[in-house]
């Protein structure tokens, strides 16, 4: 299945970003809430919006980019409706987490950090979900699934459209 390009923001209307910037114009402290507002509007922060945000707040684009990179909660590419996170922590790794990740990649047809072309799924890995005793584990949106095996992966992610 084709994968979403990293930056599809060239087709996006950035007009609403200017309205959001107006709330914080030339107020550097407003960067975090503004980024949250922009992400709330688009589901991610379009890279083309970064220079506008920077000039609106009196910052350099590199400063805005730096903040976006620092906080894991900000994204600069569109994400899927469902976010699948496979644990790559030690406990999960020794109990087959690598195989689970491979199966999930095959099932979704994407690599780590990518989103399916229909925006249904984004695949990520995490350092530890915190339920190591049930390894290997994965999370889909807010639901955790422990003791994963190939059958469970197929059941949870079986996509009939492919």
> Contacting ligand FES (CB under 6 A), which of 64, 84, 129, 148?
129
Alpha helices in 43-76 (DSSP H): 49-57, 61-70
Q: Does 132 bind ligand FES (CB under 6 A)?
A: yes
49-57 helix and 61-70 helix, angle to the nearest 10 degrees: 110
Q: Does 140 bind ligand FES (CB under 6 A)?
A: no
Q: Which of residues 32-91 bind ligand FES (CB under 6 A)?
A: 87, 89-91
Closest contact distance (angstroms) between CB of 33 and ligand FES is 32
Closest contact distance (angstroms) between CB of 90 and ligand FES is 6
The nearer residue to ligand FES, 112 or 120, going by C-beta atoms, is 112
Q: Report how far apart the first and last C-alpha atoms of the chain are (Å, whole number).
A: 8
Taken in order 128, 131, 135, 137, is the CA torsion positive or negative?
negative
Closest to 150 measured CA to CA, from 105, 94, 120, 118: 105
Stretch that binds ligand FES, among 25-33, 59-67, 131-139, 153-161 (CB under 6 A): 131-139
Taken in order 130, 132, 135, 136, is the CA torsion positive or negative?
positive
Contact residues for ligand FES, defined by CB under 6 A? 87, 89-92, 128-132, 135, 137
């Amino acid at each position: 299945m084709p994968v979403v390009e990293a930056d599809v923001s060239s087709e996006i209307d950035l007009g609403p970003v200017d309205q959001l910037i107006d709330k914080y114009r030339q107020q550097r402290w407003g960067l975090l809430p503004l980024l949250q507002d922009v992400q709330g509007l688009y589901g991610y922060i379009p890279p083309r919006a970064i220079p506008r945000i920077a000039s609106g707040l009196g910052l350099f684009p590199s400063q805005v980019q730096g903040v976006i990179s620092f906080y894991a909660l900000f994204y600069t590419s569109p994400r899927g409706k469902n976010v699948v996170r496979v644990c790559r922590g030690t406990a999960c790794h020794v109990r087959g987490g690598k195989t689970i990740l491979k199966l999930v990649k095959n099932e979704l047809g994407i690599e780590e950090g990518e989103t399916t072309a229909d925006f249904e799924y984004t695949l990520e890995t995490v350092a530890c979900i915190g339920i190591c005793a049930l390894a290997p584990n994965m999370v889909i949106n807010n639901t955790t699934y422990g003791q994963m095996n190939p059958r469970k992966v197929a059941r949870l992610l079986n996509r009939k459209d492919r």
